[in-house]
Amino acid sequence: MVERYVMSIDQGTNSTRCILFDRGGRLVSVAQREHQQHFPRPGWVEHDAVEIWHNLRRVMTEVLTGAGTAVDASQVAAIGLANQRETTVLWDRRTGTPLGRALVWQDTRTAPLVEELRVRPGEEFFLDRCGLPPSTYFSALRIRWLFDHVKGLEQRAKNGEVLFGTMESWLIWNLTGGADGGLHITDATNASRTMLMNIRTLTWDEELLAFFGVPRPMLPEIRSSAETYGEARAQLPGVPITAALGDQQAALFGQTCFSPGDAKCTYGTGSFLLLNTGTDVVRSRHGLLTTVAYKIGDRPPVYALEGSIAVTGALVQWFRDRLGLINSAPEIETLARTVEDNGGCYIVPAFSGLFAPRWRSDARGVIVGLTSYITSGHLARAVLEATGWQTREVVDAMNADSSVALKELKVDGGMTADNLLMQFVADVLDVPVVRPMVSETVSLGAGYAAGLAAGYWPDLEVLRRNWHPAARWLPGMDPGHREAEYDNWQRAVERSLGWIRPPGSP
C-alpha cells in the first residue's frame, strides 16, 4: 500500500515552511525559505508578497524530494495552510499584481489612527462587534491607512478592482488559479483578526465596514477552518486544499487543546498565549483578545482568549543582528549561562509598542539598570527573561478573566529549544511547562485540520492520542524572589510607557 501524507504550509513572519506529516503526526520532510524584511521607516515593517508566493512554490517542490525517497504529488492527501495573521495584502483583481508591499502585523504606522479611535467612537464600539480593541495590530486600520495614503486606491476598491487578504487568502488565490479563477477566501480565525468580522455571527459586519469605509467586494468569502475549499492548480494540480488557520490558532489545534481550559503559548518572533473557552464568547476585562480558535466544517465555532506579545524571538534576533553579540540565536543560552542572574538589568522590548495586556502603541523599548558591572552575559539573560516576564503578565490577565487558574502550559516554537528560558517561564508562572515531541505545532495544526477535512484522520480523539510530551520543566524559584523580580520588571515597563518622544519623531 502506498503511504499518503498531509502537506502543511506555515507562512510565517520570517520564512515560509512546508512539511509533510504522516498518520502518526510525525514529521516526514521539511523545506523552508526565508524572505526579506523591509523597514522603510521607523515602525514600518513590510514584506514582498510576490517573493513569498515564489518561495511557497519552491518549498512545495523541495519538500517532496526531501522525504528520504521522493514523494509523488498523488501521495498528498490534502494541503493545509497556517499564516502570519494580520499582515495585509492588497492586489489587482485582474492582473494579480500586489498594489505595493504587504504591511506586516508588527507595523505601527497606524498609531495616530488608533489614538483617534480610542477617543471616538471608543473601545466599546469595537469590542461589542469584533472582540478586538483599536490597535496597530489589526488589518482594518492598515486598509484605511492605504486608502488615505495611496492616490486613487479607495475608488479602485469601490469599483471592484482591488482584492484584500491576509497571507492565506493571497496564497490560496494564487494556488487555485490566481487571476484565472482563483478562490478569494479566508477562514473564520483569520477574519476574526481584521476588526471587520462580527465575532458572534462570523460574517462581515456592516457597521464596521461602513465605519472603516471598506467596500464589501474587496473582501474574501469567510469559510470554516477545515473544509474542502478547492483544488490546487499552480502547484500539485488536483490536490485538495482543505484547511486554513491563523498561525496561533493552528498551534492551539496542533497542541490538541480541544477542551475549555486548555492553553498553549507559541514562542516565535512574537509570542502568543491562547486559552480555549469552548463555544462561549468570553469578553476579557483585563486586556486580552477574544478570538475564534477554530471552526471545523459546519460545527459551532470554538473561541479563545489570547494574549499577544509583540516581541520575544525578535529580541534575540535584534541582539544577534543589530548588536552583534552572538552569531546565531542558540548562542544566547550559552552566553546567558555565563552569569548567575541578570545583574539588575531588565529589557522591555517595546519595539512595536506593548501588546497584551497593556495595548500601548506609544511605548518604546528600554534597558533599565545598566551599570559598569553589566556584561554581555547579563544582557543575554535579560533578553531571555523579558520573554518570561511578558508571559507572566499575560497569564495573570488570563487567570483574572477565567474561572479556572492555569495549571499547565503547553509550549511550542523555536524558542522552546532554549532550556534556560523554558525553566525561567516555569519559575515565573509557578506551573509546569510542557513541550511536545513535535515542537512545530503551527504546521502540525494546519496539517491536522486539513487531514480531518479530507478524512485522513477520523476525529479529534485520534489527534489527542498522537500528542506526546518531549520535555517538562517544573517550577522551583523561591516565591519571594520571584515576586521581587516581577516588581522590578513592572517598574521597567513603567519606564517604557513614560518615555519622552523627541520632537519630530514618528
Q: Binding site, residues?
A: 13, 15, 17, 85-86, 137, 247-248, 269, 313, 317, 414
Cell numbers linked to 150: 495611496
Q: Which residues pair with 272 in a beta bridge?
A: 266, 308
Cell numbers linked to 64: 517532496
Q: Distance from CA of residue 93 to its chain's centroid?
A: 27
Q: Could you give the 3-state DSSP secondary structure of residue 439?
A: coil
Cell numbers linked to 80: 493545509
Whether the CB-CB separation of 384 and 166 falls below 8 Å is answered with no
Q: Which residues are annotated as a binding site for ATP?
A: 13, 15, 269, 313, 317, 414
Whether the CB-CB separation of 51 and 36 falls below 8 Å is answered with yes
Query: What element of type H or E holds 266?
Result: strand 263-267
Whether the CB-CB separation of 419 and 382 falls below 8 Å is answered with no
Cell numbers linked to 472: 517538562
Which amino acid, residue 312?
Answer: T
Give CA angle at 40 (36, 46), nearest 5°.
45
Nearest to 294 by CA among 128, 460, 132: 460
Calculate Rg over the CA atoms of the chain: 22
Q: Which residues are annotated as a binding site for ADP?
A: 13, 17, 269, 313, 414
What lies within 8 Å, CB to CB, of 181 at 6+ separation is none
Neighbours of 365 (CB within 10 A): 18
Q: Which residues are annotated as a binding site for sn-glycerol 3-phosphate?
A: 13, 85-86, 137, 247
Cell numbers linked to 153: 486606491
Q: Distance from CA of residue 498 to its chain's centroid?
A: 28
Q: Could you give the 3-state DSSP secondary structure of residue 368?
A: strand
Exposure letters 95-105 (e unless 16+ CB within 10 A, then b): ebebbbbbbbb
Q: Could you give the 3-state DSSP secondary structure of residue 307?
A: strand
